[in-house]
Amino acid sequence: MIYADHAATTKLDEAAFEAMKPFLLEEYGNASQPYSFSRKIKKALKTSRESIAACINAEPEEIYFTSGGTESDNWAIKSSAFVHGDLRAIITSEIEHHAVLNACAAVERMGFPVAYLPVDSDGIVHPSYLKENISDNTKLVSVMFANNEIGSVQPIKELCEIAHRHGALFHTDAVQAVGHLPIDVKALGIDMLSASAHKFNGPKGIGFLFVKKGINLLPFIDGGAQEFRKRAGTENVASIVGMAVALKNSCSRMIETTQKLQRLEKCLLQELKAAKLDFILNGSYLKTPGNVSLSFKNADGEMLLHRLDLMGICVSTGSACDSTTTNVSHVLQAIKVPNEYAKGTVRITLGCENTEEDVLKIAKSLEKILQRH
C-alpha cells in the first residue's frame, strides 16, 4: 500500500510509541494523587508540557491538553464568544475546517454575529479582506494557519496585528501546520492556537490549545482541577507523552522533511505534466509541504479515489471529514475552481515515509486511469 493521505492522519512515530508504553503498562497512577507512585506521572505531564511549549515558543502554563483539534477549536471559539456575556462579533474565513465552521455556526445560532471572509483563487485570506470587515465590535478573529485541503498558508502575523488594532483576540487552527511549519506564537502575536497530535505522527485523540497568558479562558469541561481548573478529567498521560515526543521529533526533522517532500512534489508534478494530463494545481506557492491538490478536467474525484484504492493507493478527494459527500467541497468553491475541474479533484498529501518510487507509482496510476477514461 502507498499511503498518501497524511493531511487526514499520520503513522505513529515509533519513538513516541516507546515513550508511551511505560505509561500504559507500569506507570498507570493518577497524576492527581499525592503518593510517590504518581510522582513520575506528574513529572511526565510537566516535561511534556514544557517540551510542547518550547516547540512553538510558548510558556508551559499556556498549553492546555485537549482531545484534539476539534475540541481545541470549539474551546477557543466558544470561550471567546461567551466570556464577557456580550454579543460582539466573530470573524472567520470561508475555508476553515468544519471544527471551526460548525463551532461558529453554533454561536451564530445563539445570536453572535459571524462574518466569513472570502479567499483569493490561491486560498489566501488577504489582510485587506479582514480590514474591510473588522470593527471595534469584533471580539474574535479565527483564521486557520494552513488549509487542510489545499495547503495554503495564511499571512498570520498581519491578520493578528489587524485583530489587535481593533481590540479583538486572534485564534488560529494550526492543526495542519504544527510540526510541519516553523511556528513562534510570540513573534506572530497569536492569542490562541489549536493543534492535534495525529497530524504530526503522534497518537489520535490528543491535542492541545495554546492560550496566551492573561486571556480569560472559560473552562471547557467542568469537573476536577486538571489543566489549571479549565479542562477537567483524568489526563490521558500516555498520549500526552507520545504527543510531546512526536512533536519534538517532527520539529527537529522539519527542514530535511520539507526538502524531501518538495522534491517528491516536484517529481509527481513533472510526471503528470509529461503525461499531458489537463489539471489545475490548487493552493498558493506558500503551502504545507507535501500537499498536492489536483483538479483534473472532466474527471470524477470519487472515481479516481476508488480506482487508486484498488491499485493500493490512499488519497483523498476533499477534506477527510467530507468524504461521504459527493459535492464540491466548500474550499474548492471558495477558490472558485471551474466546475469542469472541481469535480475531478484529488488531494495527495505526502509524508516523510513516502519515496520517489511511491510518487512515480501514483502518477503512473493516475495516468492510466485518466487516459483510459
Nearer CB in complex with ligand PLP: 97/230: 97
Kindly tell me which residue out of 151, 203, 207, 283 binds ligand PLP, with binding defined by CB under 6 A. 207
Quick check: 27 and 45 in contact, CB under 8 A?
no
Which of helix, strand or coil describes residue 186? helix
Q: Which of 125, 136, 146, 15 is nearest to 69 (CA)?
A: 146
Q: Give the nearer residue to ligand PLP in terms of CB position, either 38 or 102.
A: 102
Phi, psi angle pair for 210, to nearest 5°? -90, 130
180 strand-pairing partners: none
Contacts of 348 (CB under 8 A, 6+ apart): 4, 5, 268, 291, 292, 293, 294, 315, 362
* List 320, 333, 360, 367, residue binding ligand PLP (CB under 6 A): 320
Residue 272 found at the interface with ligand PLP (CB under 6 A): no
**Binding of residue 193 to ligand PLP (CB under 6 A):** no
Burial 59-76 (b: 16+ CB within 10 A, else e): eeebbbbbbbbbbbbbbb
Q: Is residue 77 near ligand PLP by the rule CB under 6 A?
A: no
Q: What number of CA atoms fall less than 13 Å from residue 186's CA on the CB side?
A: 9
Residue with smaller CB distance to ligand PLP, 112 or 208: 208
Binding ligand PLP (rule: CB under 6 A), the pick from 3, 68, 328, 348 is 68
Compare residues 49 and 180 and give the one whose CB is closer to ligand PLP.
180
- Rule CB under 6 A: choose which of 91, 107, 144, 304 binds ligand PLP: 144
Select the span of 69-77, 150-158, 323-331, 355-363 touching ligand PLP (CB under 6 A). Answer: 69-77
Which of 48, 51, 93, 176 touches ligand PLP (CB under 6 A)? 176
- Binding piece for ligand PLP, criterion CB under 6 A, among 112-120, 172-180, 238-246, 286-294: 172-180
User: Cα 184 to chain center, whole Å?
Assistant: 16
Residues acting as catalytic residues? 321
Alpha helices in the chain (DSSP H): 14-25, 39-55, 69-82, 98-109, 127-133, 156-165, 185-188, 226-229, 237-252, 254-274, 301-310, 330-334, 339-342, 356-372
In the complex, what is the shortest distance from the CB of residue 206 to ligand PLP, in angstroms, rounded to a whole number? 8
Query: Could you give the string, one character per residue 279-298, with x where binding to ligand PLP holds by CB under 6 A and - elsewhere?
Result: --------------------
- Out of 52, 119, 124, 175, the only residue in the binding site for ligand PLP (CB under 6 A) is 175
- 66 contacts ligand PLP (rule: CB under 6 A): no
Q: How many angstroms separate the Cα of 84 from the Cα of each of 110, 221, 354?
A: 14, 18, 48
- From 10, 70, 79, 93, residue interacting with ligand PLP (rule: CB under 6 A): 70
Amino acid (one-letter) located at 139:
K
Smallest distance from ligand PLP to CB 194, Å: 7
Distance of closest approach, residue 363 Cβ to ligand PLP, in angstroms: 25
For ligand PLP, the closer of residues 98 and 364 by Cβ is: 98
The verdict on 179 binding ligand PLP (CB under 6 A) reads no
Identify the burial level of 118 via C-beta atoms within 10 angstroms of its C-beta, where 0-12 means exposed, 13-18 middle and 19 or more buried: middle
173 is a contact residue toward ligand PLP (CB under 6 A) = yes
d(CA 45, CA 41): 6
Shortest distance, position 9 Cβ to ligand PLP, whole Å: 8
Instruction: At 199, list the grid cell.
Output: 497530524
Q: Which is nearer to ligand PLP, 349 or 365 (CB)?
A: 349
The single residue among 48, 63, 69, 240 that binds ligand PLP, judged by CB under 6 A, is: 69
- Binding flag, residue 99, ligand PLP (CB under 6 A): yes
Burial of 2 (0-12, 13-18, 19+ CB in 10 A): buried
Residues that bind ligand PLP (CB under 6 A): 68-70, 73, 97, 99, 144, 148, 173, 175-176, 196, 207, 320-321
